[in-house]
Homo-oligomer: A and B are copies of this chain.
Amino acid sequence: MDGTLAIAANNLTSPIILFFILGVAAAFARSDLSIPEAIAKGLSIYLLFAIGFKGGVSVADHGIDTTLVLSLLAGMVLSFLLPVLAFALLRGMTRLSTIDAAAVAGHYGSISIVTFVAATSVATSAGLNPEGYMVAVAAVMEAPAILSALWIVARFGKQSADMEEGLIREILLNGSIVLLVGAFVIGWITGDEGMQMIAPFIQAPFQGVLCLFLLDMGLIAGRGLREARSVLTPGLFAFGVIMPVLGAGFGLGTGMLLGLSPGGVLLFMTLAASASYIAVPAAMRVALPEANPSIYLTLSLGITFPFNLTLGIPIYLAVANALAGG
């Protein structure tokens, strides 16, 4: 486990993490440092474009694994089930109302793509070579958790969720999913030839862009934490740390059952451990307007995201290496 500590220490002093911390610190100090909204969206488009494409090219290179379809299915099932676990945990550990607990639960079944990207970086520097289609698994895990959360409200809540027809289409076709899957498919079709054309755009500058993006995430997370201190009870805080670890456990089991490589297992753990902060919040505003956004945003962006980024991923890596490796 010595290696783990080294990796964790190394991870903590990588520019990526340090720029996140800079963002949080600037927000706490009430600096007016900010990334314009259009630039932040541009950075996120770049990241989705790049990782989708790389994933597709990697599938083109290594051929389709027989486990691809199974992994997609497993991801979907996890995304459906994790919210139930999260909901049970929240009802036990906190005093959130049904609506708030269901809304939070939905976030933890879904995924955070930046956490996924960070884990991919760590995997690559650790010499692992995760299955390229994990990007597609990430995409299919975005949405099912939302339906789960709405089902929980319908089942346990007094109020009903606003499940109009438009919503499901909107969730499935949300911009991030379409771009990620689209870039993945294009990478798959064009393979190495396509990669050669655009590699200088999506590979060399990638880590630098990621630093800027994490600076922005730090600013947002910091501002959120500063303003939502009041909602953050010890119970909620504990949930924000325990739930990702439990999720990672389920991801571990699934990844090992599927027989993925250590890198793939690490990514599955990370997906299960991470919580959405874009797609699910937007859906919750529409379908569960009564749920308090500062609770779910603070938990997802202010607690679980930094936890995974700093401590979670190195731990998941150590475990994946120990159990799925060599």
Contacts and interface: CB of A to CB of B under 8 A. Distances in A.
Interface string A113-148: 000000000000000000000000000000000000
Interface in A24-50: 25-26, 29-39, 41-42, 45-46, 49
Contact of A38 (B36, B173, B189, B209): B36
A186 B53 CA distance: 30
Contacts of A39: 38-39, 41-42, 45
A19 to B, nearest CB: 6
Nearest to A211: B198
Contacts of A215: 49, 179
A1 interface: no
A96 B40 CA distance: 42
B15 A190 contact: yes
A174 B32 contact: yes
Interface in A135-185: 169-170, 173-175, 178-179, 182-183
A182 to B, nearest CB: 4
Contacts of A173: 26, 29-33
A18 interface: yes
A36 B37 contact: yes
B182 A26 contact: yes
A98 B70 CA distance: 60
A13 B18 CA distance: 39
A204 B212 contact: no
Contacts of A53: 15
A31 B200 contact: no
A202 interface: yes
A207 interface: yes
A54 to B, nearest CB: 12
B18 A49 contact: no
A15 B50 CA distance: 12
Interface in A196-249: 197-198, 200-202, 204-209, 211-212, 215
A258 interface: no
Contact of A182 (B22, B49, B198): B22
A194 interface: yes
A215 B198 CA distance: 14
Given A178-B26, A201-B204, A194 B14 contact: yes
Contact of A207 (B34, B37, B198): B198
A42 B208 CA distance: 14
Contacts of A26: 173, 175, 178, 182
B186 A15 contact: yes
Contacts of A37: 36, 38
Contacts of A211: 49, 198, 201
B201 A32 contact: no
Given A22-B183, A32-B173, A49-B215, 13 more contacts: A13-B189, A14-B190, A15-B190, A22-B179, A30-B173, A31-B178, A37-B38, A38-B38, A42-B42, A197-B207, A198-B208, A201-B207, A202-B208
6 contacts: A18-B186, A30-B169, A30-B173, A33-B175, A35-B45, A204-B204
